[in-house]
Structure 1
Amino acid sequence: MSADADEWTVLAVGDAPSVRRLGSRVDPDVRVVSGAEAVRDEIADVRVLCLVVVHDPDGPGRLGIIDDLSTRYPSVPVLAVVRDADPRVGSAAVDAGADEYVPTPAFDAPLEALVERLPREPRGVEDPDGVVPARFLDAIGDPILVHERASDEILTANEAYCDLLGYDRAELVGMPVSAVSGGQHTRAEAEAKIRRAAEAGAHTFEWTDRRKDGEEIPVEVTLSPFETGDAERVVAVVRDITERTARRRDLRTMTRAVDAASIGITLADATVGDLPLVYANEAFERLTGYGEGDVLGRDCRLLAGPSTDVATREEIRAAVEASEPARTELLSYRADSTPFWNDLAVAPVTDESGVVSHVAGFHRDVTMRKRRERLVGVMSRVLRHNLRNEMNVVKGFADSVDDVDEDVATMAGYISETAADLVDMTEKARTLEAAMRNPGEVSVRDVVPEVTRAAATVRSSHPEASVDVEAPERLDAVVADRLRLALRELGENAAEHAGPEPDVTYSVVETSDEVAIRVSDDGPGIDDTERQVLRTGSESPLEHGQGIGLWLVNWIVTGVGGFVTTTVDDGTTVTVHLPAPSGGSADEQAYRYRQAAITAQPDQ
């Protein structure tokens, strides 16, 4: 039975007639209860003005009850009514915790006067058990809950907590804390949090509370246990983190999207001078070969290497310091020192106050595009150089025909050969351009048929040559669709330049991590310029190869992660090194196998 808002109650512990008579002479309602536990039951339902304890030194001892009540309810006045005029009895009651005492003979008037003088600030459910006055808790903006550790019983809560969960304070008091916790939580889990708070003094964690309407909301809880008398209680400061959780969920969604992005993405801390990386997605790890543990705390200079352009790096740095976006292409290096062309874009990221807090980096491997661009440049230079020279030869011989009749036949032969060379060169240029535009698929398959068919083509086009094949019945490797074209070009180059009756041999061997296809001849040996083309695919404007064919070989082989080497000793041996199958997709295997020689280098 709850008192009305403008009423309050005196709880009397004992059954003295004078205590009962008090109700007829003063405003407050007087309820008589049998002991301290009964006070506990009543105080949750009524607005308590004071506690009256009848103490008879010759009867049942009440000093223990006075001590218990004054400890459990420190803000509620305790009046001891003693049935003895001896002031020592009253002093013992005060020592036990009573605020005042009055002897029974003088009980009526002094008690009435005392009650009327008491502050009209009733307690009850606003501050049960005398833990903390509810008016103090209500003055705090954060929701606060106080409960008893042993019983899990809620002792009080402020208005903010009641508003958060949709309860009246009277409804919450006496409920177990588990009743307002999310369904996924257990009492054992809650007790573990309290233990940790007791050890550390306080403990903050995320939790789920259940509103009166059944809705569960995410909250952040800070627990602070304390002791009062023989009881251990816990203060919980609760904060609604619904918006924070939603933002974090959105952030996780964006993070998953960034993690799944096909380009490398990094995030650097702009508040620290060296811009240490605080995040790198999986694509960045795949691109660079650096794992998360290798990246975090370091800056992007870890991608720099011996051929990384310093001026370009400084441009990026200047843009970052100026909080401006920038984009460039620079040669970077993977964890295994393999270079790659990095299309790098950086952009400042500001915090809520508009201050740049991070720098986002976007990394894209554009090595293939750079190689295509270089291919176009090489084709243009070779065609301009060779066509100009060859056409000068044609023009010179043509001009001489009128003057030297006796050598017309010889000159005509030269003209015919030169014209044929020009036609062949343009055909190879067309083939190389087609390979550039459509490199074909990379797959794991048997290379022996590719070698056998390439050899057969060379025999057909060069009947004067002896072309042999030394290979096992089957040998798988990571290859491109156009491998046969590269092998045919090597065979034809050997047949054309090794002498009048050349011996050409294709051999296929396997090592621990690669398949090697060797094309050997007994000719005079390939010169250094041609070897440079085969090995790196690079060619200076002043040292052009004799044709486009060798560049085509480099292009096809390096496209699958392989590389080409040459040796000259009683002839020339060109070796095509291809990745052996090692698990995963063919593209992944080619990627793992790639070495520095197969990637683009800065133009000389």
Structure 2
Amino acid sequence: MTAQSSREVSERHTIQLLIHGDNDREALEEFLDERHDVVADDTLQPVDCYVVGEQMVPTYRDALREHKKEAHPTFTPVLLIQQEGSRGTVPLPSEQNGNGPPLVDEVVSAPVDRTTLFRRVGNLLARREQSVELSTRYEDVQIRFQRLFDSTNDAIFVVAPSGDEITECNPAACDLVGYSRDELLSISPTQTIHADDRERFRSFLQQVQEAGQGSTDDLTCQTKEGETRQLEVSAATLEDSDQSPIILSARDVTDRKTYARELELKSQAMDKAPVGITITDPNRDDNPMIYVNEGFEALTGYSESESLGRNCRFLQGEATREEPVAEMRKAVEKDEPVSVELRNYRKDGSQFWNRVSIAPVRDDAGTVENYVGFQENVSERKEREMDLQLFKKAVESAGHAVFITDREGTIEYVNPKFEARTGYTREEAVGKTPRIIKSGKQDAAFYDRMWQTILSGEQWNANLINQRKNGELYHVDQTISPIANGDGEITHFVTIESDVTNRRLRKQQLDVLNRVLRHNLRNGTNVIQGRAELLRKSLGDDEHRADVRAIEERADALATLGDKAGTVRSLFENEVSAETATNVTELVSDVVTTVSEEYSTASFDVDDSDPLYVRADSQLKMAVKELLDNAVVHNDQPKPEVTVTTRPSREKQSEQWIDIEIVDNGPGIPDQELETIKQGEETPLQHGTGLGLWIVYWTVSLYGGEVTFVDNSPRGTGVVLNLPRMSADSSVRGTPVEHH
């Protein structure tokens, strides 16, 4: 017995006989019963094989066809017993129209012999065994596919060829859109997939139908809750036909796209940041830069190609201090962040103050992968800080008392001079108001005017009396200046006070002396002059008259001295503006004309020139006249000769200075007088004989000029007044130009 026949014996199949006529049915049953289980029932049963007589086909045709269709792909064979000489009323397998499985799978002619029947039935059952095996495999594949379909993380949608129906979906699809499977299978795909642009989705499906597959990351879906999610979709047709279902595999890439956009935004922000940003690779030799942004290029002048692959130290130079560099190096060695400020150099060699902040970038394991650096130009701030430090040192060392208050008048800072002058320490003064030095000598109206002035943004200048901590009173010249913030709002006040106690006392002394010289001395000399004239007229002796004349001359000299004392006082009472300009050519000419009329015996030579302007006012005329008077009065020649020249300076820069030179033919100024003026001070042993030259010296000095004396040997004196030059158009700029 073969293996096949053994299997057939051991595995009996069920065969249903659908035969017309009891005798024929019983004969076939007897044949088949040896090897198979035979069912002889008029009702169609689920069996392994059907043996059908030709006469019974019309009765069972539809039922057999439906049964075979339902069992497909499992092969359910039908064996037709056809009467000999039949005209073929039943289509044979080769005659089937191709719609579904054939009704008849094998045909035998009656009468049927046992061998032929067994062989034909055995072949059909063997085919059935194979189909069962294949069907089992197919079912197993289906199960596995279903498991894969259900367990995949991507959302799977099967869309009908029309694109209007979802025919299948997996749990991930339900999770993605928030609908249940039944809900998804009952709605149109465009209600959730790219619901904001349905035609776009349909166009994508059409492209997939035409190409057989496609992909896009430009679709979205709308969840049941109304949330929009961005999708990455791969699609393919399930069949090779124009109207094939389409399977869509969708992945939610909302977070990824958001991250990508954030990353792009951060990248753009880094590239366009107003500070320099660098990234270095510590795993490469010398920790070179692997990224620089545009801000770094703009800050340093080095392009990206010139910077990459180099360590940042190439920005250092001669003025770079070692301390911040060492601090950075130490931080890098310890994998720690650090911020320092140091001088760096641009490509063009210019220096800038660079605030460098570097920090390690670590991976998930904590290993340093990179260093990110930020480079900021802080030159302006550093310069302000240095200026502030310089200013603070200057204020700390100033000879004036300085204190700063807030807008309400609370003291926030005092300098050492304030402490020394008032007797209050910094700790005692800060937090208080300036009332601590208030003397009570100023009334309430004085302070009302002060607050009204400074709160309006204007500077306050006043002279007042303060009181020290020990009760002493002292006079100050006070200046209060408002300090505003960037918005123009006044936030603080700075007060500078000069102690003018001694100056006021000297002024009082000068006022008294001036009164004595100008009033008392003048009255006294007037009396002496009057009485001397009466005495001279009453005397007949020439010798006595000469004595009286000497008295009159001395009285005249004392009267003149009193007048000059008043002139000195006026010099120091009137300040000259830095922009006051005078036509010195015209001024000198006017003075020479006046003096020529007074001294008719003298000769005056004026070297005329183009109009020249100097920083001076009308008091310069008094100094020039004083020199011309001296050149004539103290001249011992029969005919005094005086030359006056006005020209650009020969000793200093001619475009900035003007000289007035006065030369005479007299005996010259006494050496002691010259030395006193040159030294700028008088002593008990060395002093002048009058005020004339001092008046000249003080006048020119107040203009910022200088008086020099020229040796005019063998006779005469040369005096040069050197004065700051002004432009001819000063009056056009609003500067008063005085003509005398």
- Would you call these one fold, judging by a TM-score over 0.5? no
Structure of greater relative contact order (alpha carbons < 8 Å, 6+ residues apart)? 1
TM-score of the aligned structures, taking structure 2 as reference length: 0.34
**Larger Cα Rg: Structure 1 or Structure 2?**
2
